[in-house]
Amino acid sequence: MRAALSILALVIVAAIVLSLVKKQATALKPPAAGASAVRAALPQPQAVGQQVQQSVDDAARRAAEAASAATN
């Protein structure tokens, strides 16, 4: 009897886990075609990298100018 209840409990737990896995798998499906338009509107990583590099260069230039002005 105890063994039968243990097996029944394992089957119930397996059913719950499989149900959750199925729910998660459906959530991971690729987005619809409308979402690809949103993805296309995002900036390109290379453009973002260039903007960041330009900002860092500008900040370095300003810091150098401020240090130069402070010593004069």
Domain extents in the chain: 1-26
pTM of the model: 0.41
Looking at residue 28, its amino acid is L
Q: Is the backbone of residue 30 left (phi > 0), alpha (psi -120 to 50) or beta?
A: beta
What are the CB-based long-range contacts (under 8 Å, 24+) for 8-15? none
- Calculate the average pLDDT of the chain: 86
Is residue 33 scored above 80 in pLDDT?
A: no
Q: What pLDDT is recorded for position 45?
A: 85
